[in-house]
Amino acid sequence: MPGHDGCRSMVSETNQENDMSKPNVERIDVNSDQALSTWARKFDASAEQIREAVKAVGNHPDDVELHLKGSRSSSNSERVAKQAG
């Protein structure tokens, strides 16, 4: 039925538009100081560590968190203090 294919196409386009209008909170935006600050607090890391992790594994928070956990050979407080000072 040709009419039904057209309806599906219109519904699909409408869903895409709705999805695009929602902020993507499941990705880390390294171009936003506010986002970097938020994720840095959440992961107990510096903004620079977040940037490096995103560069290494992409901007999905789960991947970044695993990368940060796996790359810590000393306590994170020590690494943050070292990078800040």
- Model confidence at 18: pLDDT above 50: no
Please list the alpha-helical segments (H only) found in 44-75.
47-57, 61-70
Q: Give the number of C-alpha atoms closer than 13 A to the C-alpha of residue 69, restricted to the C-beta side.
A: 8
pTM of the model: 0.56
Helix, strand, coil in percent for the chain, rounding step 5: 70, 0, 30
Residue 37 has pLDDT above 50, yes or no: yes
35-44, 56-65, 73-82, range with the lowest pLDDT:
73-82
With cut-offs at 50, 70 and 90, classify the pLDDT of residue 15.
very low
